[in-house]
Amino acid sequence: MSASPATRRLLAAVLAAGTLVGAAAVPAAAHDDDRRDHRGRHSSIVIGDVQHESRGRDNRALNREWVEVKNTGRHAVELRGFTLTDSDGNRYRFRGFRLDGRSSVKVHTGQGNNGNRDLYQDRRHQIWDERDTATLRDDRDRVVDAKSWGRRDNRR
């Protein structure tokens, strides 16, 4: 049995509309991937640059020591409960900090006033050594990113 030309045109229009709706849904799925990877980790949050072992023992020297946390995604991510640790187990816990999309924050070792671009651990001693690893974990204690330096391979 053959369909009438009007029925075929209607079916073609419905299929074309379905294709457009499906294509429009792809960015929404990409939005979820932008925030978490297939293991549920925040794939857009990474450790950027690291400045370690600044000279001196005063607060100014401590604040020249920092780890940059970057959001490479388009959407803001709440970092409440995330932790940043070194190889010796020193830990900094983020408290209610929202990192905007495509931006970064430097986590300084010393004391200062927290802002949008700089956070302070309020420590009195340097923690980042010549050979060390910075590990960033999410609020469920899953590793989000890690960066090592001072070793021969310097792998992430």
Query: Is residue 156 a part of any domain in this protein?
Result: no
Q: Sort strands 118-120 and 103-108 into parallel, antiparallel or unpaired.
A: parallel
| pLDDT value of position 6 | 76
Query: Is residue 153 a part of any domain in this protein?
Result: no
The Cα 20–Cα 26 span in angstroms is 10
The Cα 102–Cα 135 span in angstroms is 20
The Cα 141–Cα 131 span in angstroms is 23
Domain count across the chain:
2
Domain co-membership, 63 together with 125: yes
In contact, 69 and 48? CB cutoff 8 Å? yes
Structure tokens at 115: 């802002």
Domain co-membership, 28 together with 105: no
Q: What three-state secondary structure class fits 19? A: helix
| pLDDT value of position 18 | 61
Q: Domain containing 75: what range?
A: 45-148
Domain co-membership, 72 together with 30: no
Give the CATH number, domain containing residue 50: 2.60.40.1260
Q: Please choose, from the candidates 51, 156, 145, 155, the residue with its C-alpha nearest in 3D space to the C-alpha of residue 107.
A: 51
**Splitting the chain (156 residues) into consecutive groups of 10 residues, what average pLDDT does each group show?**
70 61 41 45 88 84 96 97 97 97 97 97 94 97 96 56
Q: What three-state secondary structure class fits 6? A: helix
Q: Please choose, from the candidates 46, 48, 50, the residue with its C-alpha nearest in 3D space to the C-alpha of residue 132.
A: 50
